[in-house]
Protein backbone atom coordinates (compact mmCIF):
# COMPACT_ATOMS: atom_id res chain seq x y z
CA UNK A 1 0.00 0.00 0.00
CA UNK A 2 1.21 3.47 -0.87
CA UNK A 3 0.05 6.88 0.31
CA UNK A 4 -0.65 10.26 -1.26
CA UNK A 5 3.00 11.18 -0.67
CA UNK A 6 3.93 8.71 -3.46
CA UNK A 7 1.53 10.18 -6.02
CA UNK A 8 2.93 11.26 -9.42
CA UNK A 9 1.50 12.30 -12.78
CA UNK A 10 0.80 9.27 -14.96
CA UNK A 11 0.48 6.64 -12.21
CA UNK A 12 -2.55 4.36 -12.24
CA UNK A 13 -4.47 3.85 -8.99
CA UNK A 14 -7.51 1.85 -7.97
CA UNK A 15 -10.17 4.33 -6.85
CA UNK A 16 -13.76 3.31 -6.13
CA UNK A 17 -13.10 -0.05 -7.89
CA UNK A 18 -12.03 1.74 -11.08
CA UNK A 19 -8.59 2.11 -12.63
CA UNK A 20 -7.82 5.81 -12.69
CA UNK A 21 -4.81 7.58 -14.16
CA UNK A 22 -3.51 10.63 -12.28
CA UNK A 23 -3.42 13.49 -14.79
CA UNK A 24 -2.62 16.30 -12.35
CA UNK A 25 -2.07 16.58 -8.64
CA UNK A 26 -1.34 19.35 -6.17
CA UNK A 27 -0.34 19.06 -2.52
CA UNK A 28 -2.17 21.76 -0.54
CA UNK A 29 -1.21 22.75 2.98
CA UNK A 30 -3.67 25.39 4.19
CA UNK A 31 -2.86 27.60 7.17
CA UNK A 32 -5.73 26.10 9.12
CA UNK A 33 -6.69 22.43 9.03
CA UNK A 34 -4.98 19.36 7.64
CA UNK A 35 -3.09 19.05 4.40
CA UNK A 36 -4.71 17.41 1.38
CA UNK A 37 -3.97 16.39 -2.20
CA UNK A 38 -6.16 17.73 -5.01
CA UNK A 39 -6.12 15.47 -8.09
CA UNK A 40 -7.54 15.15 -11.60
CA UNK A 41 -8.20 11.49 -12.36
CA UNK A 42 -9.03 9.91 -15.71
CA UNK A 43 -11.15 6.75 -15.72
CA UNK A 44 -9.21 4.46 -18.06
CA UNK A 45 -12.31 2.52 -19.12
CA UNK A 46 -14.62 5.42 -20.01
CA UNK A 47 -12.16 8.30 -20.50
CA UNK A 48 -14.14 10.49 -18.07
CA UNK A 49 -12.06 12.96 -16.03
CA UNK A 50 -13.02 13.72 -12.43
CA UNK A 51 -11.63 15.95 -9.69
CA UNK A 52 -11.03 14.26 -6.34
CA UNK A 53 -9.45 15.41 -3.09
CA UNK A 54 -7.56 13.00 -0.83
CA UNK A 55 -6.53 13.71 2.76
CA UNK A 56 -2.76 13.80 3.14
CA UNK A 57 -1.41 10.36 4.01
CA UNK A 58 -4.49 8.53 2.68
CA UNK A 59 -3.71 4.99 1.54
CA UNK A 60 -4.00 4.17 -2.15
CA UNK A 61 -3.71 1.01 -4.24
CA UNK A 62 -1.29 1.52 -7.11
CA UNK A 63 -1.75 -0.75 -10.13
CA UNK A 64 1.41 -2.21 -11.57
CA UNK A 65 1.34 -1.64 -15.30
CA UNK A 66 3.62 -2.84 -18.05
CA UNK A 67 4.76 -0.50 -20.83
CA UNK A 68 5.48 -1.97 -24.25
CA UNK A 69 6.91 -0.12 -27.26
CA UNK A 70 4.70 -0.57 -30.31
CA UNK A 71 4.31 0.97 -33.74
CA UNK A 72 1.12 2.79 -34.70
CA UNK A 73 -0.12 1.47 -38.07
CA UNK A 74 -3.52 3.00 -38.92
CA UNK A 75 -7.08 3.62 -37.71
CA UNK A 76 -10.47 2.84 -39.20
CA UNK A 77 -12.43 5.51 -37.32
CA UNK A 78 -13.42 3.45 -34.25
CA UNK A 79 -10.29 1.37 -33.66
CA UNK A 80 -6.56 2.00 -33.78
CA UNK A 81 -4.10 -0.70 -34.87
CA UNK A 82 -0.64 -1.18 -33.37
CA UNK A 83 2.15 -3.67 -34.07
CA UNK A 84 4.53 -5.17 -31.51
CA UNK A 85 8.06 -4.30 -32.67
CA UNK A 86 9.44 -7.67 -31.46
CA UNK A 87 6.78 -10.24 -32.41
CA UNK A 88 5.04 -8.32 -35.25
CA UNK A 89 1.73 -9.21 -33.61
CA UNK A 90 -1.01 -6.63 -34.24
CA UNK A 91 -3.46 -5.46 -31.61
CA UNK A 92 -6.55 -3.29 -31.81
CA UNK A 93 -7.21 -0.45 -29.36
CA UNK A 94 -10.50 1.43 -29.04
CA UNK A 95 -10.76 5.18 -29.60
CA UNK A 96 -11.69 5.80 -25.93
CA UNK A 97 -8.28 4.44 -24.84
CA UNK A 98 -6.35 6.46 -27.44
CA UNK A 99 -8.39 9.65 -26.69
CA UNK A 100 -6.46 12.91 -27.33
CA UNK A 101 -3.27 11.11 -28.43
CA UNK A 102 -4.86 10.50 -31.85
CA UNK A 103 -4.33 14.18 -32.69
CA UNK A 104 -0.55 13.66 -32.76
CA UNK A 105 -0.07 10.10 -34.08
CA UNK A 106 0.95 9.34 -37.66
CA UNK A 107 1.47 5.94 -39.27
CA UNK A 108 4.84 4.43 -38.44
CA UNK A 109 5.26 6.33 -35.16
CA UNK A 110 6.58 4.38 -32.16
CA UNK A 111 4.50 4.79 -28.99
CA UNK A 112 4.20 3.03 -25.64
CA UNK A 113 1.09 1.06 -24.79
CA UNK A 114 0.39 0.53 -21.09
CA UNK A 115 -0.98 -2.89 -20.17
CA UNK A 116 -2.65 -4.37 -17.10
CA UNK A 117 -2.32 -8.03 -17.99
CA UNK A 118 -3.59 -8.24 -21.58
CA UNK A 119 -5.83 -5.16 -21.39
CA UNK A 120 -4.53 -1.90 -22.90
CA UNK A 121 -4.99 0.94 -20.42
CA UNK A 122 -3.41 3.90 -22.16
CA UNK A 123 -1.31 5.10 -25.10
CA UNK A 124 1.76 7.14 -24.20
CA UNK A 125 3.17 9.33 -26.98
CA UNK A 126 6.35 11.47 -26.95
CA UNK A 127 6.07 14.92 -25.32
CA UNK A 128 7.05 16.60 -28.61
CA UNK A 129 6.30 15.52 -32.18
CA UNK A 130 7.17 17.01 -35.57
CA UNK A 131 4.18 17.19 -37.92
CA UNK A 132 3.58 18.80 -41.31
CA UNK A 133 1.15 21.68 -41.88
CA UNK A 134 -1.43 20.69 -44.50
CA UNK A 135 -3.52 23.85 -44.52
CA UNK A 136 -3.09 27.44 -43.35
CA UNK A 137 -3.31 30.97 -44.72
CA UNK A 138 -0.12 32.15 -46.46
CA UNK A 139 2.61 33.60 -44.26
CA UNK A 140 4.38 36.91 -44.74
CA UNK A 141 8.13 37.42 -44.42
CA UNK A 142 9.11 39.48 -41.38
CA UNK A 143 5.81 38.94 -39.57
CA UNK A 144 7.36 37.51 -36.40
CA UNK A 145 7.41 40.20 -33.73
CA UNK A 146 3.71 40.92 -33.30
CA UNK A 147 2.78 37.73 -31.45
CA UNK A 148 -0.34 37.37 -33.61
CA UNK A 149 -1.48 33.86 -34.51
CA UNK A 150 -3.58 32.08 -37.11
CA UNK A 151 -5.11 28.59 -37.31
CA UNK A 152 -3.20 25.78 -39.03
CA UNK A 153 -4.26 22.20 -39.71
CA UNK A 154 -1.60 19.50 -39.41
CA UNK A 155 -1.42 16.13 -41.19
CA UNK A 156 -3.50 14.35 -38.51
CA UNK A 157 -6.41 16.77 -38.99
CA UNK A 158 -5.78 18.61 -35.69
CA UNK A 159 -6.00 22.43 -35.79
CA UNK A 160 -3.84 24.67 -33.61
CA UNK A 161 -2.77 28.31 -33.41
CA UNK A 162 0.58 29.17 -35.01
CA UNK A 163 2.55 32.40 -35.69
CA UNK A 164 1.74 34.30 -38.90
CA UNK A 165 4.99 33.31 -40.67
CA UNK A 166 4.09 29.58 -40.78
CA UNK A 167 3.23 28.26 -44.27
CA UNK A 168 1.66 25.11 -45.71
CA UNK A 169 4.20 22.20 -45.84
CA UNK A 170 6.24 23.60 -42.90
CA UNK A 171 7.19 21.04 -40.25
CA UNK A 172 6.12 22.10 -36.74
CA UNK A 173 7.31 20.90 -33.36
CA UNK A 174 4.20 20.46 -31.18
CA UNK A 175 3.90 19.86 -27.43
CA UNK A 176 1.52 16.86 -27.17
CA UNK A 177 0.65 17.59 -23.53
CA UNK A 178 -0.90 20.99 -24.36
CA UNK A 179 -1.46 20.69 -28.13
CA UNK A 180 0.41 23.95 -28.69
CA UNK A 181 2.98 25.07 -31.25
CA UNK A 182 6.57 25.06 -29.94
CA UNK A 183 8.71 25.98 -32.94
CA UNK A 184 9.23 25.45 -36.63
CA UNK A 185 11.30 22.28 -37.00
CA UNK A 186 14.26 21.95 -39.31
CA UNK A 187 13.17 20.01 -42.38
Mark whether 84 and 132 lie in a shared domain: no
Into how many domains does the chain fold? Answer: 3
Q: Which domain holds residue 140?
A: 128-184
Same domain, 58 and 100: no
HEC-encoded secondary structure of 130-187: EEEEEEECCCCCCCCCCCCEEEEEECCCCEEEEECCCCCCCEEEEECCCCEEEEECCC
Whether residues 98 and 134 fall in one domain: no
- Does 88 lie in the same domain as 73? yes
- pLDDT at 12 exceeding the cut of 90: no
| 17 and 56 housed in the same domain | yes
For residue 101, the model assigns a pLDDT of 86
Strands (E), 76-127: 79-84, 90-94, 110-116, 119-124
| CA 23 from centre of chain | 9
> Half-sphere exposure of 178 toward its Cβ, with a 13 Å CA cutoff?
7
pLDDT confidence of residue 187: 58
11-32: average pLDDT: 87
* pLDDT tens-digit series, residues 91-132: 998 888 888 888 999 999 999 988 877 888 788 888 899 999
Could you say which of 124, 141, 167 is where a domain stops?
A: 124
Q: What is the pLDDT of residues 48-95, one digit of tens each?
A: 889 999 888 888 888 888 888 999 999 888 899 999 988 999 999 888
Any idea what the CATH number is for the domain that residue 179 is in? 2.40.50.140
User: Quick one: pLDDT at residue 14?
Assistant: 87
2, 11 in Cβ contact below 8 A? no
Q: What is the pLDDT of residue 140?
A: 64
**Which of 34, 62, 90 is a domain's end point?**
62
Q: Are residues 162 and 139 in the same domain?
A: yes
- For the stretch 124-183, pLDDT in tens is 888 899 999 999 888 666 655 667 888 999 999 999 998 888 888 889 999 988 889 998
Same domain flag for 58 and 71 = no
Q: Is the pTM of this model over 0.85?
A: no
Amino acid sequence: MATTADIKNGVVILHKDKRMKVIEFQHVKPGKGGAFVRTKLKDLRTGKIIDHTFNAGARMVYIRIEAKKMQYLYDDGDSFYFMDNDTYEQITVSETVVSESKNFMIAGMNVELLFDGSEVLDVRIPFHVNLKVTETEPGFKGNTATGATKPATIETGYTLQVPLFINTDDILRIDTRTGEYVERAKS
